[in-house]
Amino acid sequence: MKSLGSIRRAFAPWTDPASKPFISFRNVTKRFGDFTAVDDLSLNIYTREFFALLGASGCGKSTLLRMLAGFEQPTSGEIILDGQNLAGIPPYRRPVNMMFQSYALFPHMTVENNIAFGLKQDGMPKADMAERVQQMLKLVKLEKFAKRKPHQLSGGQRQRVALARSLAKRPKVLLLDEPLGALDKKLREETQFELMDLQQELGLTFVVVTHDQEEAMTMADRIAVMSHGTVVQVATPAEIYEAPNSRFVADFIGDVNIFDGALTGAEAGFVQLETTGGIPIRMMSPDGFAKGTRVAVAIRPEKIRIGRQTPAHAPMNTAAGEIWDIGYLGDMTVFHIRLKNGQVIKASTLNAVRAVEDPLGYDQEVWISFGDDAGVVLKD
Ligand SMILES: Nc1ncnc2c1ncn2[C@@H]1O[C@H](COP(=O)(O)OP(=O)(O)OP(=O)(O)O)[C@@H](O)[C@H]1O
């Protein structure tokens, strides 16, 4: 198990121009009447990838998944899977299986019969079927529960039956629509890791739809952030978090402080700006912007420092304010700091020790500051 991390880290077929995508959406549009649910969307997914579609309710994630499964037909554009154009191929003839949010287990059937259902329909010989069901039960660690009915299982166990059932036919691609939605937080986190292990073990391609960003960040090799039927950014979780390509993505993923302003100067690799609240900022930026360009600097709360003394680099990348609110979360504390210009900034600190001498308190005057590599400069 130890080597998994390094295997996953080395896995990046999308950076290799020689590797061919396994699933391609090419200019896919889906209209329902005059409503466009998916809008001229193109996307490549690679074999063995754990791919997440992330976006707010109604952005078209499920519609995209349903088109891949064959439950909906694109209005225009094409979907290619393993070199085959899927147009006109019915769901049951696609090498794809879908696991639904509600699991849709048959309540009157035992766990093993639920898992065997699809195999039976395909006319698999009895002995092979029994063997496959055993394999699946073992895989999801439910051997002891084979004879139970769904109502005799916990939510997490039912979820694993649904997973076993959708994997029994050995699809090349498993589509998961909010697979962990019905589980409580703790179980969901456990199951996320189980799902990742399972996917690695079986060498399958997973496409998961979720609106839970933490879930997508934890599980996925890459995430597509969607909005209004289009993909705004496709990247690894770390890239999405540290280098969002737009204000929308920066704002959608995690907590962020946005400083709006106009460019006052630029030098190689850095830009200078004055925020609307009067804070001078110098920030690393690979992009060249013209003087006067309206930009936004996005800085995550954990990259903002809080101190009692005026920082040495003042007035650059710093501002005075007072502590407005304190959210204690156990592992970390989030401070809301009201700057002199009225802007409220979020800054978080890790609680690495149990007792802090002289902790920061409400109404205390503080300085916030950040390094010149702390944020990302976005065109407004
Ligand atoms: N059969 C349909 N007829 C009409 N409109 C539909 C149909 N299916 C989906 N839509 C609309 O298309 C849009 C995208 O729906 P979709 O289910 O793909 O969203 P989603 O991103 O998966 O959202 P959620 O997270 O809420 O499931 C929504 O506005 C929805 O109302």
Domains in the chain with CATH codes: 4-95+171-247 (3.40.50.300), 255-379 (2.40.50.140)
- The token duo for 380 is 């407004």
User: Which of 42-51, 121-130, 220-229, 358-367 has the lowest average pLDDT?
Assistant: 358-367
Cα angle value 245/246/249 (rounded, 5°): 90
**11-37: per-residue pLDDT in tens?**
899 999 899 999 999 999 999 999 999
pLDDT band at 63 (very low <50, low <70, confident <90, very high): very high
* C-alpha–C-alpha distance, residues 171 and 193, integer Å: 21
Q: What is the mean pLDDT of the chain?
A: 90
Substitution site in 28, 54, 62, 252 for ligand 1 pocket (most atoms within 8 Å of beta carbon): 62
Q: Which amino acid is at 124?
A: M
Asked if residue 3 has pLDDT above 50, the reply is no
User: What is the ipTM metric for this complex?
Assistant: 0.94
Residues with CB under 6 A from ligand 1: 32, 35, 37, 55, 57-63, 211
Substitution site in 25, 31, 32, 208 for ligand 1 pocket (most atoms within 8 Å of beta carbon): 32
Instruction: For residue 158, give the 3-state DSSP assignment.
Output: helix
User: Do the beta carbons of residue 370 and residue 307 sit within 8 Å?
Assistant: no
The whole-number pLDDT of residue 177 equals 87
- The token duo for 100 is 């639904």
User: Do the beta carbons of residue 86 and residue 80 sit within 8 Å?
Assistant: yes
The whole-number pLDDT of residue 8 equals 57
Asked if residue 9 has pLDDT above 70, the reply is no
Asked if residue 2 has pLDDT above 50, the reply is no
Distance 343 CA to ligand 1 centre (A): 37
Distance 366 CA to ligand 1 centre (A): 47
Taking only Cα atoms into account, the Rg of the chain, rounded to an integer number of angstroms, comes to 25
Asked if residue 104 has pLDDT above 90, the reply is no
Q: Which residue bears the tokens 């630029």?
A: 266
The pTM (predicted TM-score) of the whole model is 0.87
* C-alpha–C-alpha distance, residues 142 and 173, integer Å: 23
